[in-house]
Structures are given as structure tokens and as C-alpha cells.
Amino acid sequence: MDLLRDPAVQLLLHGFFAVLFARSAVHKWRDPAAFQAALDAYEMLPRGVTRGVSLGFAGVESALALGLLVPGMGPWPALVGAGLLILYTGAMAVAWLRGLREIDCGCGPPGAGRPIGPDLMLRNAVLAGALIAAAAPAAVRPLGFVDGVSALAAGFALVALQEAIESGLRQLRSMRAWRRPV
């Protein structure tokens, strides 16, 4: 059986991405003005519409978090999530090419100061690829208790790994900023 089609692996992927989108949505709902400011910094939308767009993104991410957990939703939540990450990556790439390299990506908690860059674009591309894999139909086999426990433990490990990678990237950016001549 193809590993990505294993129902336990599908459960893991859907759970991981549900947590990822839920955390992202919570940041946006908690401080909508900060996310709106991040959108304004991209200079791609008229300022009059960024509030509505920022709330729309928070709503879509919330719906994705729920949709990824609801059995029977099919591939749509994963494919929409991949599309959203590709959209975010495209916006980062355009801003980066326009020289807006120090703007906050808007993908973390307010005040995180995570500037756009190739590292975030690569991260989003990898995550979009994993979401496309999560859209594959799961093979039919019953999930057992061990499958559930394994998927839950692996999900916690993936979230911890993602946090460790994000922390390492923050440290790397801090070290680069510290070394920059004034």
C-alpha cells in the first residue's frame, strides 16, 4: 500500500494541517488590525479593502481547520489549503521582487517580525506539496487504536518540529541582523 494513502498517514496529515490553519486563524482573529497592517505592507490591495480581505483569510483558514477534520469532506479542504499557501507564496514572491524584503509576512503572531524571504516561500511550497499529498484518497482499511495513538503522537511531533524550525529561522534572522553593519 502506498504510504501516503494509508488512512493513519492521512489522519496525521489532516490533523497537522488542521492545527496549522487553526493557529494561523487564531492569530488573525486575535489581532485583526495587525494582520491588516501586514496586508497593507505588501502594497498589492487598495487600503480600503484590506480589512475585508484580512477577515476573509481568517475565515477561510478557520473553515479549513474544521474541514480537514470532518470525515467525508473529500480532497477539497486539502486542495483549497494548498491553493491558499500558493497564493500567500505568490504574494511574498511579488513583494520580494519589488524590493519589499523587510515587511512582516503576516503568517505568525502579531509582532513576531517574520520578514518575507526565500525561506518562507520554500516552507510554503513544501507545505502546499504535503497538502496535495493529503488530498489523495485514503486506502480502505479500518483504523485501529494503535493507528489513532500513532497519528496523534506523530502529529504532536510534527507540530513540535515545525515550531523548532520556525524558532531556528527566527534565531538565524536575529543573528544576521546583529551582524549587519550599521
- Give pLDDT tens digits for 152-180: 777 777 777 777 877 777 677 677 667 76
Pick the closest to residue 59 from 21, 112, 31 (CA basis): 21
DSSP-based helix, strand, coil % in the chain, nearest 5: 70, 0, 30
Pick the closest to residue 10 from 146, 143, 177 (CA basis): 143
Q: What Rg do the C-alpha atoms of the chain give, in angstroms?
A: 18
Count of helices and strands (H, E) across the chain: 6, 0
* Residue 112, all three cell numbers: 513576531
> Would you call 121 exposed, middle or buried from its count of C-beta atoms within 10 A (0-12, 13-18, 19+)?
middle
117 in Cβ contact with 101 (< 8 Å): yes
- pLDDT of amino acid 2: 75
- pLDDT of amino acid 21: 94
- pLDDT of amino acid 182: 58
- pLDDT of amino acid 4: 64
For 22, 35, 99, 147, 156, the CA distances from 152, given in Å and listed in that order, are 16, 31, 42, 8, 6
How far is Cα 162 from Cα 165, in angstroms, rounded to an integer? 5
Give the global pTM.
Answer: 0.82
Match 497593507 to its residue by C-alpha cell: 40
- pLDDT of amino acid 177: 67
List beta partners, residue 104. Answer: 115
Parts of the chain with a pLDDT under 50: 1
Give the three-class secondary structure for 115: strand
